[in-house]
């Protein structure tokens, strides 16, 4: 186990079982339904299941929970595999719930023969109505006392396609008055005439999740079946099946629940994310604003940052909503030390250095990382015309503005100090070009004779800068808990994407292999997959500081000043 791996109640339980000798080798599984892409919430289940198997010398299988033929697709399964590998994990084997359709059918027949299951011809509505409520017991179905032979015959008919979808179901015969609604004769099998992505037309009946999961765990010798809290009330049923069925091996998996990972300003539900994709609110499952692993990957988040985030959120049974800021901080922490530095200008404003000789230029050795000499240096060229960030110039500078303004001086990063001598404006008064003079004695950090210059701004050389599109992202939703809103789409943040279509970057970036960069003063960036030869596109992964924390502090300060 890595030194920084935090322990949790599940790990402690496994350690105790291993120490007492009751547990041989730990076997876990990650059981996604191939009906969408994995999101950051799934990362928690992935890290937990695979991490435990790795740390205790056990194994973890990838099991596709493919019991809903209508919603599932092989393309999702392939994407899920890619995402798990990207996170840094490898499964011991791949299986599918559908691999066990034959055995599950035989289990159902076993229950019928034991008088523990019956075919119910009631409609879905009748079954629902008969189930009762949290305060009222259910009522027995009129079909509950059907004899074994008739049940076997009807179930075979269901299987053979003699009946239509919804005409009848197979139910367990447990207790219609149980305090636990899941034990009130749950449905085990339903008729579905749809084609299954793996078994084709072989089956007309499909088992429900509850009748599939525990038995699949047992067939795979899973020791610890880790799942999220919403399955807590299903555990009694999970155990009931294992107790009443003749399982081939001695395995008795234990279901252990933990709380879901939730993240503010986004949703972690495939169904809700699908709504955004289908509604065209995002550019697809891997839109860099999506909390999907494919979206985070495309944006430039590292697997290290995601694993760290998952670890920091911990494993408990309490409801909790993690802060988006925490995920972003994990990315900053990971990238600060290893992302090489570069300069980029998002909204260029031309700066003409009037006393710099025309036709001349000079090269500067700039460090690739200010704190890590081993990352080396690169050559920057500067000449009479450079581009600076429009925001770094102000004609009427507010207080504490330490950047460029008429009459004021600022250092061009790694180069020299320039003093603004004039502005050329368009007919709307918008600055078109800023003029300045440089002080040749301020190279290599030397301060000008006239007094210290505080401000340092980034720039690119006009003659050789490369054009780029830079995409800046903000929270996908404007409110902290969009999943609670009646209208999910109305809760979207209309400013979640800003495109800087005419950004300029250091020329070396045009030829660089895809990597994560820190663009000085702007944040961490990663080439988007829309990049092509001659077309650079960068995504901002995160800003350098948490701008949202600052905003919250400010508004908190304002509120406390008022009261």
* Stretch near Mg ion under the rule CB under 5 A, chosen from 31-39, 71-79, 160-168, 337-345: 31-39
Q: Provide, rounded to whole angstroms, the least separation between the CB of residue 273 and ligand ATP.
A: 7
Residue 58 interacts with ligand ATP (CB under 6 A): yes or no: no
Q: Pick the binder of ligand ATP from 13, 251, 269, 531 (CB under 6 A).
A: 269
Task: Annotate each residue in 211-250 with x if it binds ligand ATP (CB under 6 A) or - if it does not, as one string.
Answer: ----------------xx----------------------
220 flagged as catalytic: no
How crowded is the C-beta side of 102, counted as CA atoms within 13 Å?
A: 3
- Which lies closer to ligand ATP via its Cβ, residue 324 or residue 536? 324
Task: Compute the distance between CA of residue 363 and CA of residue 377 in angstroms, rounded to an integer.
Answer: 12
Angle between helices 9-20 and 40-55 (to 10 degrees): 20
**Nearest residue (CB) to ligand ATP, 50 versus 101:** 50
- Pick the closer one to Mg ion by CB: 212 or 442: 212
Q: Which residue is nearest to ligand ATP (CB)?
A: 41
Which residue in 29, 131, 190, 260 is the catalytic one?
260
**Binding residues for Mg ion, total number by CB under 5 A:** 1
Residue 29 CB, shortest distance to ligand ATP, in Å, is 9
Residue 45, interface with ligand ATP (CB under 6 A)? yes
Contact 89, 64 (CB under 8 A): no
> What is the rounded distance in angstroms from the CA atom of residue 110 to the CA atom of residue 183?
18
Among the listed ranges 32-40, 132-140, 454-462, 542-550, the one in contact with Mg ion (CB under 5 A) is: 32-40
With CB under 5 A as the contact rule, which of the stretches 29-37, 168-176, 474-482, 488-496 interacts with Mg ion? 29-37
Q: Give CA–CA dist 263/431, Å, rounded.
A: 42
What gap in Å lies between CA 482 and CA 163, rounded to an integer? 42
Does the footprint of ligand ATP cover residue 299 (CB under 6 A)?
no
Cα(42)–Cα(52) distance, rounded to whole angstroms? Answer: 15
> What HEC string does 508-554 produce?
HHHHCCCCCEEECCCEEEEECCCCECCEEEEEEEECCCCHHHHHHHH
In the bound state with ligand ATP, the residue whose beta carbon lies nearer, of 44 and 341, is 44
The site map against ligand ATP for 2-31 (x = CB under 6 A) is: -----------------------------x
Whether 33 is catalytic is yes
Please give the sequence-ordered ranges of beta strands (E in DSSP) within 192-229, or none if there are none.
205-207, 224-228
| Count of CB atoms situated within 10 Å of the CB of 301 | 27
* Of 152, 113, 110, 144, residue with least CA distance to 127: 144
Q: Tell me the β-bridge partners of 365.
A: 379
The residues binding ligand ATP (CB under 6 A) are 31-33, 41-42, 44-45, 65, 227-228, 260-261, 268-271
What residues act catalytically?
33, 260, 270
The residues binding Mg ion (CB under 5 A) are 33
């Amino acid at each position: 186990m890595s030194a920084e791996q935090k322990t949790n109640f599940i790990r402690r339980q496994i350690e105790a079982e291993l120490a007492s000798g009751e547990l041989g080798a730990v076997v876990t599984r990650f059981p996604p339904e191939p009906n969408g892409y994995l999101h950051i919430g799934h990362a928690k289940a992935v890290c937990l299941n695979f991490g435990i198997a790795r740390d205790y010398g056990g194994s973890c299988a990838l099991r596709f929970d493919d019991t809903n033929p209508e919603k599932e697709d092989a393309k999702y399964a392939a994407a899920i595999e890619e995402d798990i590998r990207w996170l840094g994990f490898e499964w011991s084997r791949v299986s599918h719930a559908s691999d066990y359709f034959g055995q599950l059918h035989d289990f159902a027949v076993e229950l019928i023969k034991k008088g523990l299951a019956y075919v119910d011809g009631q409609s879905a509505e009748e079954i629902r109505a008969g189930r009762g409520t949290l305060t009222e017991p259910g009522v027995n179905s009129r079909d509950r006392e059907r004899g074994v032979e008739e049940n076997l015959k009807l179930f075979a008919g269901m299987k053979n396609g003699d009946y239509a979808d919804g005409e009848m179901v197979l139910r367990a015969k447990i207790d219609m008055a149980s305090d636990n609604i899941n034990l009130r004769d749950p449905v085990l099998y339903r008729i579905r005439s749809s084609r299954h992505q793996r078994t084709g037309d072989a089956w007309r009946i499909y088992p429900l999740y509850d009748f599939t999961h525990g038995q699949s765990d047992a067939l795979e010798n899973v020791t610890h079946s880790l799942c999220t809290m919403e399955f807590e009330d299903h555990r009694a049923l999970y155990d009931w099946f294992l107790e009443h069925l003749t399982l081939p091996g001695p395995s008795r998996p234990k279901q252990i629940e933990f709380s879901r990972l939730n993240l503010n300003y986004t949703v972690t539900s495939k169904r809700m994310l699908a709504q955004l994709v289908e509604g065209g609110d995002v550019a697809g499952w891997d839109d860099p604003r999506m909390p999907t692993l494919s979206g985070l990957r495309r944006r430039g988040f590292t697997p290290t940052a995601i694993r760290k985030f998952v670890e920091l959120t911990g494993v408990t049974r309490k409801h909790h909503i993690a802060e988006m800021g925490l995920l972003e901080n994990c990315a900053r922490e990971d990238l600060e030390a290893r992302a090489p530095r570069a300069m980029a200008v998002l909204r260029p404003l031309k700066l003409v250095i009037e006393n710099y000789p025309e036709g001349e230029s000079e090269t500067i050795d700039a460090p690739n990382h200010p704190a890590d000499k081993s990352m080396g240096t690169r050559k920057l060229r500067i000449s009479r015309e450079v581009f600076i960030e429009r925001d770094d110039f102000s004609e009427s500078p507010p207080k504490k503005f330490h950047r460029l303004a008429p009459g004021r001086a600022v250092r061009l990063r790694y180069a020299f100090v320039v003093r603004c001598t004039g502005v050329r404006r368009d007919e709307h008064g918008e600055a078109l070009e800023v003029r300045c003079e440089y002080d040749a004695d301020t190279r290599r950090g030397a301060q000008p004779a006239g007094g210290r210059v505080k401000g340092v701004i980034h720039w690119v050389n006009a003659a050789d800068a490369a054009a780029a599109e830079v995409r800046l992202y903000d929270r996908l939703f404007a409110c902290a808990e969009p999943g609670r809103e009646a209208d999910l789409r109305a809760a979207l943040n209309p400013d979640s994407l800003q495109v800087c279509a005419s950004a300029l970057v250091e020329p070396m970036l045009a030829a660089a292999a895809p990597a994560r960069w820190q663009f000085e003063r702007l944040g961490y960036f990663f080439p988007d997959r829309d990049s092509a030869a001659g077309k650079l596109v960068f995504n901002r992964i995160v800003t350098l500081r948490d701008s949202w924390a600052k905003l919250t502090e400010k508004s908190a300060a304002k509120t406390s000043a008022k009261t």
